[in-house]
Amino acid sequence: MSSKFVSYEERAKRHPSSAARSLLETIVRKRSNLCVSVDVTAKADFLDIIDVVGPYVCLVKTHVDIIEDFDSSLIATLQELSKKHDFLIFEDRKFADIGNTVALQYSSGVHKIASWSHITNAHPVPGPSIITGLASVGKPLGRGLLLLAEMSTKGSLAKGVYTEEAVQMARAHRDFVIGFIAQRSMNAVGKSSTDTGDEDDFLVLTPGVGLDVKGDAMGQQYRTPEEVLNDGSDVIIVGRGIYGKGPTVDIQSVQVQAERYRAAGWSAYEKRLQL
Ligand code: 6AU
């Protein structure tokens, strides 16, 4: 019997979006569905962590606005590391404004996100104009957008009809929206039970992944790589589970944890191909 899940390799061959294909091809090349979220505030820690986790990841996720000593050399080094270790870059900007404003936030300012980030994300709350605003900047550069269809936090409002509307917005903009931040596959959302949603191949990137704890003191909730992969997630996003919670970064432990999460994510993927 064939699996209800299609391999990354098959999907990479037939995906219509070049941004989605790049991510799927990187996943296959590196045998990694791990995205490390590097939420630290010092440039030196940020770059040290990325250099160490680089070999184990398909994607590095950034919040550049939290870096205290940010300057343009950080972006140049990040791009060098992306080439050295063969990973893509995802600036987790969570745009949420009108089209005109998000286009400026994406292209301009200190960070010039569109010029270096292969993937970014947006809240669907303003409606489809947020996609057209971001697409006016990102599409000519071959970038891809993820919509936040669900969140990992306790009491999230992104559920039910809101999630369905987010998926409909994505279906109407398949030329730029490559997938979702969500907790499960979105391909069948809003479709009847006889319609399998097979024509959709949205990528699902899932935060709120941890092997050792179930949450934090601020509403974050964690599930294991196996739980999220079995629900149809494609990429696990792991932050503190890898770089730790302390004021200082233990770089040896970062490497051990990155290897551990890469292995856990990949074995969950291989297991689900048997389902
Ligand atoms: O593994 P953690 O909890 O240390 O970090 C999770 C990372 C953080 C959040 O900003 C982000 O994932 N995140 C997102 C994203 C990626 O958009 C959405 C969400 O619902 N939950 C979440 O934690 O950088």
Where in the chain are the domains? 3-190+197-273
> For 44-71, what is the mean pLDDT?
98
Contact status, residue 272 vs residue 5, Cβ threshold 8 Å: yes
Amino acid at 88: L
E-strand spans in 102-240?
119-122, 144-148, 177-181, 203-206, 235-238
Give the distance from CA 176 to its chain's centroid: 15
Structure tokens at 233: 């997630």
pTM, full prediction: 0.97
- Low-confidence winner among 1-10, 66-75, 144-153 (lowest mean pLDDT): 1-10
| Smallest CA separation from ligand 1 atom 1, residue | 239
E-strand spans in 39-149?
59-62, 88-95, 119-122, 144-148
80 C-alpha to ligand 1 centroid (Å): 25
Output the pLDDT for position 78: 98
| Smallest CA separation from ligand 1 atom 2, residue | 239
> For 27-40, what is the mean pLDDT?
98
Which residues form the pocket of ligand 1, taking CB atoms under 6 Å from any ligand atom? 37, 39, 63, 92, 94, 121, 148, 151-153, 181, 207-208, 220, 237-241
**Averaged confidence pLDDT in the chain:** 96
Active-site residue identified among 30, 92, 201, 234: 92
Structure tokens at 179: 């997938």
94 is known as an active-site residue: yes
Burial class (CB in 10 A: 0-12, 13-18, 19+), 240: middle
91 C-alpha to ligand 1 centroid (Å): 12
| Smallest CA separation from ligand 1 atom 18, residue | 151
Q: Give the pLDDT confidence of 181-197 residue by residue, as tens digits.
A: 999 999 999 987 666 55
Beta bridge partners of 237: 35
d(CA 74, CA 160): 40
Fold of 3-190+197-273: TIM Barrel (3.20.20)
Output the pLDDT for position 127: 98
Output the pLDDT for position 246: 86
Query: pLDDT grade, residue 199 (50/70/90)?
Result: confident
The set of residues, in sequence order, having a beta carbon less than 8 Å from that of 101 and lying 6+ positions away, is 133
pLDDT at position 179 over 70 = yes
Q: Which of 36, 211, 224, 237 to mutate to test the pocket of ligand 1 (most atoms within 8 A of CB)?
A: 237
